[in-house]
Each structure stands twice: as structure tokens, then as C-alpha cells.
Structure 1
Amino acid sequence: MTDDPREVGSLSEEAAKLFGALSGWARDQAGEASEVLSDLSAHATTTADDLDDHLATGSAECTACPVCRVVHTVRQLSPELTEHLTAAMSSLAQAAAVVMAPPGRRD
């Protein structure tokens, strides 16, 4: 490699410089991104807890609210039914992926 950073080297030398710069940039961004994601995760958890406390409380408004009625029904599902529905949704998603795959990639 050349000693002067402004001098243009061979393709492999320039590629090495580019990848070095990109990896440094990615390291810097990863630190910032993990901090932002951590804050976002904490906020989402707090919001979900707050929302859960205000849905399907059993008040008179909740008996007429379709969202609260669905939440109440989902809360009452048995673990076996929840497991069955999860498996069924997984199978449906896999079938949709096969249908939407390009013709040459279908199994």
C-alpha cells in the first residue's frame, strides 16, 4: 500500500481502505444504535404496560368497546388454544411464503 493516503492505489488497496472506513463507521453507528434501541425498547415496554392497564378493565365503557371485548376474549384463551393458534398462523405464513416465492425457488 502507498504511504500517502491521498494517493490512489490499486483496486484491492482502495477496496481495503473503503472497507476499513466502513467498518469504523459501522462500529461508531452500532454504539449509537444500541443506545437508541435500548431506549426504544424501554419506552415500548412502558407503553405496553400502560396500555394493558387501560384495556378491558371491566368498566361500563369496556363492555361496549370492540377493542376491549377482543382483548378480554384473548386474555381468557387457554394455553392449549393459544399454542394451536400460533402453530396455525405459522403454517399459514409458511404457505403464503411458498405461494409468493418466485417460480424457480418453490420447493
Structure 2
Amino acid sequence: MAFDAGKFLKTPDLESFDNLKKEELVLLAKQLKLVFKVSMRKQIIKNLVIEKLVDAEILGEEALELKVENVDAFKLKQLELEHELRLKELEMKERLEMETRKRKRR
């Protein structure tokens, strides 16, 4: 049976989350609209998804225990910088689109 990210989010289960494959984590990350690359290691995607699910109160804070801590600090910093860069790119694109719309109105 194919993994259904929407169904999982309606009835989250910590044990089944811990057993998700990378492909399933990718589907879940996309459903949560996370900015990431599919080429990232499973552990990094899993950590991103856990943080988002806990922040959104979909899973309780006990889920933080599932975070993979063996990802070295360099990888985490790289991920953080990539994420910040993507957000800045999206902000700039949005501003450019707004300016273009304003010019067209004039």
C-alpha cells in the first residue's frame, strides 16, 4: 500500500513515523511544504520533518528523541544555510513580482 502523507498527518503515529523510508519522508516533507533537496541524506530530511511536526504540534515533543544526532555540525550548518538561501530567493522573487505588477498598473 502506498504511503499517504495527508492521511499520516491526520492520524500521526510516532512508531510508524520512525519506520518511514526516505521516499516516504520526502512525500511528507513535500506535504509540509518544507524547503529541501531530495538528494539530502535521509537523516537530514527526517530531522527537518520532525522539527516541523513538533512546531506544528502534530507530534509531541517526545518525537524530538527520534532526531538523528549523528549528523555532524558541518552538515547541519550547510543545511541551515541552504534553507536560508532558498527563503531569501523566494522573498526576492516575490518582491520582483510585486514591483512588476505595480509598474504594469501605472
TM over 0.5: no
Tell me which of the two structures has the higher relative contact order, counting C-alpha pairs closer than 8 angstroms and 6 or more residues apart.
2
**TM-score (norm: length of structure 2):** 0.30
**TM-score (norm: length of structure 1):** 0.30
Between Structure 1 and Structure 2, the one with more helix by share is 1
Bigger radius of gyration among the two:
1
